[in-house]
Amino acid sequence: MATDVHGAVTDTLREEAPRAASPGATAVQVAGLVRAFGGRAVVDDLQLIVQPGEFVALLGRSGCGKSTLLRVLAGLDREIEGEVRVPRRKAVAFQAPRLMPWKRVWPNVLLGLPGRPDRAAAERALAEVGLGHRAEAWPKTLSGGEAQRASLARALVREPDLLLLDEPFGALDALTRIKAQRLVAELWRERGCAVLLVTHDVEEALLLADRALVMEGGRIAYETTVDLPRPREISDPRFGALRARLLDRLGVEGGTGTHAAGGADHAEVTGDGSAAAAA
Ligand SMILES: Nc1ncnc2c1ncn2[C@@H]1O[C@H](COP(=O)(O)OP(=O)(O)OP(=O)(O)O)[C@@H](O)[C@H]1O
């Protein structure tokens, strides 16, 4: 059952500034979230906690509801049941950069921001993503990687406490993708904001995230802590072991073949959101 946007949802979608919140406050707190389309619950009693400054990757089969969850967290979809607490300052970048072709790059970065256009802020954000020299350019003259970085600058200019990334590197070629991943890792380190990254790419999740979640049946069904030093190396045997475990959990060939390969750093997640360590 969908909640009226103008009614109960104002009670359920509370936006808080973590800087002002009490110590130990979370960046994202979701409890009993349900999002249904035509009577079918795509997100079904989902629990999720993300700590301030934590980098979390969200994996899951196509159509399992990852983008739906991200849109709810971004405040773009409020037809929900359950409780969602997110910081007031949040920003989202999608797979498609969504730049307005009739605006130059710098006003695109400021798109949707209230108040007088702050060109200097746009240029600072563009410089952060290595696009300081393209502020005056038209979007159609940007490469795919540049356009994606401009989209990232648009997120950064909002100085988010929570950065939501929906497959932002999905359309990039392999080399540009690696560069973009490194850039996000660097920005995350410098900014210290929480990041929730939706990705199909297990390696990307393991290169970037503190924690990788697998969504299944409308919930977070599995999670693993990525307790590897940064920068991470794909050649690290521990990386390989985590990759195999996640691929296995996703039902992709190349996994370990057992869902519950040992270690307390990964867990099947039970209905109430608590993690039961796999034996
Ligand atoms: N506005 C909508 N109206 C009806 N159904 C929708 C709507 N948005 C999403 N859905 C359905 O909800 C399900 C989950 O979609 P969602 O885009 O969240 O999946 P996803 O896990 O992000 O998939 P992918 O990995 O392929 O991007 C799909 O079956 C989709 O068709």
Q: Within a domain: residue 149?
A: no
Say whether the peptide bond before residue 231 is cis (omega within 30 degrees of 0): yes
Domain enclosing residue 250, as ranges: 9-89+196-277
40 lines ligand 1 (CB under 6 A): no
Query: What is the residue-averaged pLDDT of the chain?
Result: 86
Distances (CA, A) of 171 to 8, 82, 123, 266, 275: 38, 33, 25, 30, 33
Is pLDDT at 251 greater than 80 in this prediction? Answer: yes
Count: domains in the chain: 1
Segment 132-171, tens digit of pLDDT: 999 999 999 999 999 999 999 999 999 999 999 999 888 7
Is pLDDT at 131 greater than 80 in this prediction? Answer: yes
Q: Within a domain: residue 17?
A: yes
Q: Percent helix, strand, coil in the chain (nearest 5)?
A: 30, 25, 45
In this prediction, residue 59 carries a pLDDT of: 98
In this prediction, residue 11 carries a pLDDT of: 30
ipTM over 0.90: yes
pLDDT interval class at 19 (50, 70, 90): very low
* CA dist., res. 133 & res. 126, Å (int): 8
Residue 178 tokens read as 């690696």
Q: Ligand 1, from 64, 94, 215, 250: best to mutate by most atoms within 8 Å of Cβ?
A: 64
Q: Ligand 1, from 35, 58, 61, 67: best to mutate by most atoms within 8 Å of Cβ?
A: 67
Segment 180-196, tens digit of pLDDT: 899 899 999 999 999 99
CATH of the domain at 214: 3.40.50
278 lines ligand 1 (CB under 6 A): no
